[in-house]
Structure 1
């Protein structure tokens, strides 16, 4: 995630440098880089918030509302979420009596010397809808801007991943792809405020994070906040 975030920032900066040398494109590509926290975590699950990150890559298109400084701005994009677990916990899932059962369990194997990071990943296809205010209605890429709205999304990929060092000192990574009881659909509210190509954003997930939750995860919701960069 760190390498990806640095690559995104580099691309945005290079895009801004080259902007004067290419024609203006309709709409704007916005990159959100944020950290995650849960309103009510499942039992035994504690998040390392600064290692629990979100990258949103979204294409927006502004539709002016009359001759005002306001726009209705729909978009489409990807939401890539990572949740880093403390104390060597991970999620597991299995079918019992025809029903999905999700549990939070602590990693423990006799041949493991030390466990590293343990994460849950959830990737979404999102459709955000925003109402925006621009201080310069004819120059959206300059001046003060503010937006409020929401987004809906559908989960297309999820996985757990953890690292460990065995008794011989060799490093390993285990990645398992499964649903882990996550809600297939999500919806929430978001807002952003900034100047030019830089802004701050926040997103609160109104839908439950889990459709089939582990113990204590019945009311888990996600809150994300961070910075947003406009690519073009």
Structure 2
């Protein structure tokens, strides 16, 4: 977590410093260019077996933050290409199920814990260092804050952290046993690389955002062929 927070802080620092400089791209001065993007998402795994899908609970969510460099086409100023660096996170919540990411078995255990002590709240969280790439269209490139925009692209990421976290231990009848939290970390079952398609459409600093993961969340043979889909809001500026 400290590593992730440090990366986010570094990205924000670079973005703030970059925003103080005047730039001339494609004949335009001081263009905002969506150099900073913050995405708040609703997350879902597609392709999950029923035994896992029916155990999802709560609002699965993620947060992504990127710093982007935007290069406008001089001959077509409404179009630009942007690339950058950032961190993407996802949190999936389970009801009466444990995901044993520290297991020594060949397959990742998803264990139902209805009839034994279990946590009231339980999640699997991931974080990736990502490189996003976008092809952007801005209807009014001189007035980005008051312009329709859309972008399509892709991103590739490398795995930073995987952990599970449980809060408030209950017995099989739902009575509180203990209020402690437990956290386990382990990367061995997840793919270390993530490749996803992205798209967003909106107006000014706000847009709807979506991404679809091409490769599987987990390594071949350790779990089903599941992929992450994120849909949410994108806030951009600078």
**TM-score, normalised on structure 2?**
0.77
Task: Report the CA distance between 1:22 and its aligned residue.
Answer: 10
User: Where does residue 90 of structure 1 map in the other structure?
Assistant: 99
Q: Distance in 1 between matches of 2:169 and 2:146?
A: 50
User: Where does residue 119 of structure 1 map in the other structure?
Assistant: 123
SS at match of 1:141: helix
2:107 is the counterpart of 1:101 = yes
Task: Report the CA distance between 1:90 and its aligned residue.
Answer: 2.6
User: Where does residue 150 of structure 1 map in the other structure?
Assistant: 154
Q: Distance in 1 between matches of 2:69 and 2:146?
A: 16
Q: Distance in 2 between matches of 1:213 and 1:124?
A: 22
- Superposition CA RMSD, Å: 2.8
Contact 2:101 2:187 in 1 (8 A): no
User: Where does residue 230 of structure 1 map in the other structure?
Assistant: 236
Task: Report the CA distance between 1:27 and its aligned residue.
Answer: 5.4
Contact 1:197 1:231 in 2 (8 A): yes
Instruction: Report which stretch shifted further, 187-196 or 166-175.
Output: 166-175
2:181 is the counterpart of 1:173 = yes
Q: Distance in 2 between matches of 1:128 and 1:34?
A: 16
Q: Distance in 1 between matches of 2:198 and 2:214?
A: 10
Map 1:56-67 onto structure 2 (within 5 A). Answer: 56-67=64-75
Q: Distance in 2 between matches of 1:94 and 1:224?
A: 28
Structure 1: unaligned runs, 5 residues or longer: 1-20
User: Where does residue 34 of structure 1 map in the other structure?
Assistant: 41
**TM-score, normalised on structure 1?**
0.78
Instruction: Report which stretch shifted further, 31-40 or 79-88.
Output: 79-88
How many residues of Structure 1 are paired with residues of Structure 2 in the alignment?
A: 207
2:215 is the counterpart of 1:211 = no
Flag the 1:27–1:230 CA change in 2: closer, same or farther, 3 A: closer
Contact 1:93 1:103 in 2 (8 A): no
Contact 1:152 1:188 in 2 (8 A): yes
2:83 is the counterpart of 1:74 = yes
Contact 1:45 1:89 in 2 (8 A): no
User: Where does residue 227 of structure 2 map in the other structure?
Assistant: 221
Flag the 1:209–1:54 CA change in 2: closer, same or farther, 3 A: same
